[in-house]
Amino acid sequence: MSVFRNAGHLFRLAAVFVVGTVAFLVIRAAVVPRSFGEYGHYRGAAISEIASLPLHFAGHQTCETCHTDIAKMKSAGMHAHVNCEACHGPLEKHVKDPSIDPGKPDAAVLCVRCHAASAARPKWFPQVDPAQHSGGIACTTCHNPHNPVIAAGGSK
Amino acid sequence: MPGVEGYMYPNEVSLYWSVLIVLYPYITGLVAGAFILASLERIFHVEAVKPTYRLALLTALAFLLVAPLPLQLHLGHPERSYEMYLTPHRTSAMAMFGFVYLWYLMAVLVVEIWLDFRADIVALSQTTTGWRRLMYRILTLGSTDVSERALHIDERVGWFVTLIGIPSAFLLHGYVGFIFGSIKANPWWSSPLMPVVFIFSAMVSGIAAVMLVYMAMMRLRREPIDMRCVDKIAQYMMYIFVIDFSLEMLDLVHRIYEADESFRSLNFMVHTKLWFSQVILQICIGTIVPISLIALVQIVKFSEKWRKAIYVVSGSLTLIGVLAMRWNVVIGGQLFSKSFLGYTTYKIALVTREGLLVSIGLMILPLVILAVLVKILPPWPEKSAVSLPAPSVGD
């Protein structure tokens, strides 16, 4: 015991650390979500929470079940692999209730979003300088959005 | 695109790591440097630097308290930061910083300061009144044992803590260098010398800072500066600075000789965008000039007045030089394209969350904290327990 004589204050300091550590562990046990680490370094329950979020996109397969004509036309053209909702926007609401009119996309801003010439786009991707190419006329006057190549009979 | 020359990948045009990330290694460096200066006295028994021992500890604490702030400001959402303790991510070096920091703060600095000031705290808890008395009483942790044996035990334990503290200080700052040095994709950073260079420049800057703070405090208190002490500190600073500079040059020569595929691009950058901050500010004004000045003092006998002036000038230049070094590492590493075909520009904002004003505030804050700490725990041995220093900075 004599070794520890006059070392009382050190035990007090150690006690502060022990209390701090215990408080930390208690808080940690209380606030770290139960499912943390279930699958990885995140909250396992997050997966089911995200899965139950409301849907916004229906997916092109769903559209194609009703709009068979357009699906057929599109699959024959250069836009075959462009998703319906990439142009029309999220339409899950319309799918649930087709009487909700989704309206038509505005070709004036839509097409240039992908086709305006830009050095950042891959070279193989078809690009035009809109001012030069159409001089302000809406793209859909000449191109059919669902089958855009005019020579392929896609004109409107 | 404005500010961009040649070809940049789109995600390289604007910098992610702003001036705050320059300050962060700078501030942790000052902490590590100040602590190492303090340990000189304790472990290596350099008696001459004793007058700055306690001041160096308090300086280290003041800067350490501010060290995480640049990160908090840069990342945003400070209310989430504690989560890195709750769910530690063991394979991320950045995530582990929280533990390195906590270890250094709690297990090293706070303990060492407490042990060292304990006798004063006990004395103050008996001589003061009101809320100060309460504060000191809490700080004593309810033990007023200042018997010779108790103080002897404190001395031994403190010595041991300092012994652990030196590798911890290296860890704290070596870690910061490691973060940069381990970024494989960036040739400006990726170098195993990075942690070593960071540690040595940290020591230099910390020693310079304590030297200046000591001289300023003595001035404010209208007390004579202990020239034996300042001479010694300046000497140590010079020695370490020479090592630091050699290491930096070694890195440079190695890069030039190796001349890998990034070399042309980096070489061009150093000659253009970084010419002022690297060659002029860091190497010439911030390194060669202070080293030469202090070296001159070793050779020529200057009067006390002149030596003081030289130390203030070279200390300040050193601080500027080390800050420039951090700038060149952090900002320089983001100015060139990883395609080695282009360069971008960093324009520092003024009043944004990561802007100039915030940075200036962050550099003043530690001094304010230090002023408060000095008030609470007067580091001056002679009158410590009796009277508190009257004229003090800030407060």
Same domain for A28 and A71: no
In a domain, A1, yes or no: no
Q: Is the pLDDT of residue A152 over 70?
A: no
The size of the A-B interface in CB pairs under 8 A is 38
Flag whether pLDDT at B321 surpasses 90.
yes
CA distance B111 to A24: 19
Nearest residue of B to residue A29, measured between CA atoms? B86
What is the band of B382 on the pLDDT scale with cuts at 50, 70, 90? Answer: low
ipTM over 0.90? The verdict is no
CB under 8 Å to B164, separation ≥6 — which residues?
Answer: B107, B108
Query: Domain range spanning residue A43?
Result: 8-51
Count of structural domains, chain A: 2
CB contact under 8 A, A13 and B10: no
Please say whether the beta carbons of B344 and B3 come within 8 A. yes
Check pLDDT > 80 for residue B370.
yes
Residue of chain A minimizing CA distance to B145:
A6
Q: Which residue of A has its CA nearest to B144?
A: A9
Residues A96 and A37 in one domain: no
A32 neighbourhood in chain B, CB within 8 Å: 86-87
Does the beta-carbon distance from A6 to B89 stay under 8 Å? no
**What is the structure's pLDDT at B105?**
92
Of the two residues A136 and B146, the one the predictor is more confident about is B146
Query: Does A138 lie in the same domain as A77?
Result: yes
Q: With CB atoms and an 8 Å threshold, state whether A5 touches B114.
A: no
Q: Which candidate from A12, A28, A120 shows the least CB-CB separation from B142?
A: A12
Nearest to B179 by CA among B195, B196, B167: B195
Question: Is the residue at A112 inside a domain?
Answer: yes
B114: chain A residues, CB-CB within 8 Å:
13
Residue B393 pLDDT > 50: no
Work out the pLDDT band at A52, boundaries 50, 70, 90.
very high
Is the domain of A39 the same as that of A17?
Answer: yes
Closest in B10, B118, B147 to A120, CB measured:
B10
Q: What is the pLDDT of residue B378?
A: 92
- Which amino acid does the sequence have at B119? A
Residue A5 is predicted with a pLDDT of: 82
- The band of B381, judged by pLDDT with boundaries at 50, 70 and 90, is low
A interface toward B at CB cutoff 8 Å? 5-10, 12-13, 16-17, 24, 27-28, 31-32, 36-37, 41, 120
pLDDT, average across residues B204-230: 94
> In 3D, which of B12, B56, B49 has the Cα closest to residue B35?
B56
Separation of alpha carbons B302 and B299, rounded Å: 9
Asked whether the predicted pLDDT for residue B168 surpasses 60, the reply is yes
Contact A6 B106 (CB under 8 A): no
Residue B316 has pLDDT above 50, yes or no: yes
Please indicate, yes or no, if residue A2 is contained in any of the structural domains.
no
According to the model, what pLDDT value does residue B389 have?
43
When scoring A3, A5, A10 by the number of chain B Cβ atoms within 10 A, the one with the most, hence best to mutate, is A10
pLDDT at B1: 72
Residue with tokens 């006057």: A141
- Whether pLDDT at B150 is above 70: yes
CA distance linking residue B37 with residue B40, whole number of Å: 5
pLDDT in tens, B170-186: 888 888 899 999 999 89
Say what angle helices B356-376 and B19-44 make with each other, to 10 degrees: 30
What pLDDT is stored for residue A58 in this prediction? Answer: 93
For chain B, give the percent of residues with pLDDT over 90: 81
Measured in degrees and rounded to the nearest 5, phi and psi for residue A144 equal -90, 120
Query: How many CA atoms lie within 13 Å of B142's alpha carbon, on the beta-carbon side?
Result: 6
Which residue among A6, A32, A120 sits closest to B145, beta carbon to beta carbon? A6
Is the domain of A45 the same as that of A69? no
Question: pLDDT tens digits for B239-293?
Answer: 999 999 999 999 999 999 999 999 999 999 999 999 999 999 999 999 999 999 9
Q: How many other C-beta atoms are found inside a 10 Å radius of the C-beta of residue B365?
A: 17
Q: What is the pLDDT of residue A153?
A: 55
Q: Is the pLDDT of residue B327 over 90?
A: yes
Same domain, A77 and A34: no
The pLDDT of residue A60 is 94
Which residues have CB under 8 Å from B167's CB, separation 6+? none
For residues A15 and A86, membership in a common domain is answered with: no
Whether the pLDDT of residue A10 is over 80: the answer is yes
Closest CA to B96 of B30, B171, B170: B171
Provide mean pLDDT across the span B81-93: 90
Is residue A3 in a domain? Answer: no
Residues A112 and A67 in one domain: yes
Kindly state whether residues A128 and A69 are assigned to the same domain.
yes
Neighboring chain B residues of A9 at a CB cutoff of 8 Å: 118, 140-141, 143, 145, 150
- The answer as to whether A30 is a domain residue is yes
- pLDDT computed for residue B211 by the predictor: 96
Judgement on whether residues A22 and A92 belong to the same structural domain of the protein: no
Domain identity same for A120 and A91: yes
The DSSP secondary structure of B164-204, one letter per residue, reads HHHHHHHHHHHHHHHHHHT-TT-TTT--TTHHHHHHHHHHH
Report CA B251 to chain centroid distance, whole Å. Answer: 22
Q: Is the pLDDT of residue B295 over 60?
A: yes
Residue-level pLDDT at B3 = 86
**What pLDDT shows up at residue B324?**
97
- In the predicted model, what is the mean pLDDT of chain B? 91
Q: Do residues A39 and A66 share a domain?
A: no
B118·A9 Cβ contact <8 A: yes
Q: Is B388 left (phi over 0), alpha (psi -120 to 50) or beta?
A: beta
What residues of A are in contact with residue B143 (Cβ under 8 Å)? 8-9, 12
Chain B neighbors of A31, CB-CB under 8 A: 86
Question: pTM surpassing 0.80?
Answer: no
Residues of B in contact with A120 (CB under 8 A): 10
C-alpha distances in Å from residue B227, one per residue of A13, B42, B51, B232, B371: 37, 20, 10, 8, 23
Q: What is the pLDDT of residue A46?
A: 95
- Confirm if B1 and B344 have CB atoms less than 8 A apart: no
Helices (H) and strands (E) in chain B, counts: 15, 2
Q: Cα B209 vs. chain centroid, distance in angstroms?
A: 8
Q: How far lies B206's CA from each of A9, B89, B91, in Å?
A: 31, 30, 30
**Chain A contact set for B118 (CB, 8 A):** 9
CA distance B23 to B74: 11
In a domain, A156, yes or no: no
So what's the pLDDT on residue B380?
A: 82
The phi-psi region of residue A100 (left if phi > 0; otherwise alpha if psi is between -120 and 50; otherwise beta) is beta
- Cβ-defined contact of A7 to B114 (cutoff 8 Å): no
Give yes or no for residue B297 having a pLDDT over 50: yes
* Contact call for A28 and B142, based on CB within 8 A: no
**A5, A8, A32 ranked by CB distance to B87: nearest:** A32
Look at residue A110 and tell me whether its pLDDT is greater than 80. yes
B93-139 residue pLDDT tens: 888 888 989 999 998 999 999 999 999 999 999 999 999 999 999 99
Chain B contact residues (CB < 8 Å to A): 10, 85-87, 89, 106, 111, 114, 118, 140-143, 145, 147, 149-150, 153, 157
- Which residues, in sequence order, are CB contacts of B55 under 8 Å at separation 6+? B210, B213, B214, B217, B374, B379
Asked if B338 contacts B351 with a C-beta cutoff of 8 angstroms, the reply is: no
